Structure 1
């Protein structure tokens, strides 16, 4: 409806209404919400960064806990103790 006719140089909308719209209005509320989210991207990033840090620290602690469950007890060796090496 906003396509300009080659012969007349006007769009059908412009001939009918007398003016030509410059911006297409949002077609659905989802478009409006996404536009609002794009403008607040810095605020969203500031909110996500601490969460990302907390999750990565928790993953480190969980990995350490699971790894330590499968380790055997540490044997204290002293200088002069005899040990057998399997080579």
Structure 2
């Protein structure tokens, strides 16, 4: 139970810190959110692809792999465009 309280406190502090940062640096924070969302979509697509590959033939995992690849390529291009990281 203490572990859950620690995780909840950590998440609360990180969300509050992100909110303060977003209010003081809105453009950079928006860029970071966009890159984070691209990477999150890629990770979710990889997990879906692995699940599809385990439960079905390999051909069913190909669309998820393509979505993951496109999401990671988009995140890399956004990071290359915004050099302020």
Please say whether Structure 1 and Structure 2 have the same fold, judged by a TM-score greater than 0.5. Answer: no
Query: Which of the two has greater helix per residue?
Result: 2
Q: Whose Rg is larger? A: 1
TM-score by length of 1: 0.38
